[in-house]
Amino acid sequence: MDYRRMNDTCYIRIDKGEEIISEILNVCRRENIQSAVYTGIGGCSHAEIQTFIPDKGEFETEEIDGMLELISITGNIVMDEGKLFHHTHAAFSYKDGEEHKMAAGHMKAITVLYTAEIELRPVTGGVIRRKHDPETGTGFWSFE
């Protein structure tokens, strides 16, 4: 992974075999970024896609492997009790035999096949925190 901070934006190149979300969090730690939003594209080899099941209050995970074209990744980073949390969604296209398919959803982990290019934009003028919602068991933005 390599990155550059230009003005208020970090441009991150994530390399083969590296995990995208953990590298974004690493940049946030290095740059002391407590809340941010990010977008990107790339070529990946593995993705763990999660779907939240409200009745169970938990995520179900599906894994996909192969040449996964990362069409779009978007997400945010927030702080809660001194710890960074991510909320990431992504969409992939891939071939299954002769068919072109797509997969998308909430991301647990994504491994890079050849590169991923991420634009990370820190929040300026304040910090967005995470507020736990006991009804759903998930966290939401808090502006307090």
pLDDT digits (tens, 9 = 90+) for 23-62: 999 999 999 999 999 999 999 999 999 998 888 878 899 9
How buried is residue 87: exposed, middle or buried, by Cβ count under 10 Å (0-12/13-18/19+)?
middle
Report pLDDT for 68.
98
Residues 89, 96: Cα–Cα separation, whole Å:
22
Residue with tokens 């901070």: 5
Is the pLDDT assigned to residue 97 strictly greater than 80?
A: yes
Q: How confident is the model at residue 138 (pLDDT cuts 50, 70, 90)?
A: confident
Domain architecture of the chain: domains with CATH = 2-142 (3.30.1330.80)
pLDDT digits (tens, 9 = 90+) for 98-125: 999 999 999 999 999 999 999 999 999 9
Residues 78, 66: Cα–Cα separation, whole Å:
31
pLDDT digits (tens, 9 = 90+) for 4-24: 999 999 999 999 999 999 999
Report pLDDT for 81.
85
Structure tokens at 26: 């690493």
Residues 139, 18: Cα–Cα separation, whole Å:
26
Q: Using alpha carbons only, how large is the chain's radius of gyration in Å?
A: 16
In this structure, are residues 39 and 91 in contact, taking their beta carbons and an 8 Å threshold? Answer: no
Q: What is the dihedral of CA 57, 93, 26, 141, to 10 degrees?
A: -40
Report pLDDT for 54.
82
Report pLDDT for 34.
95
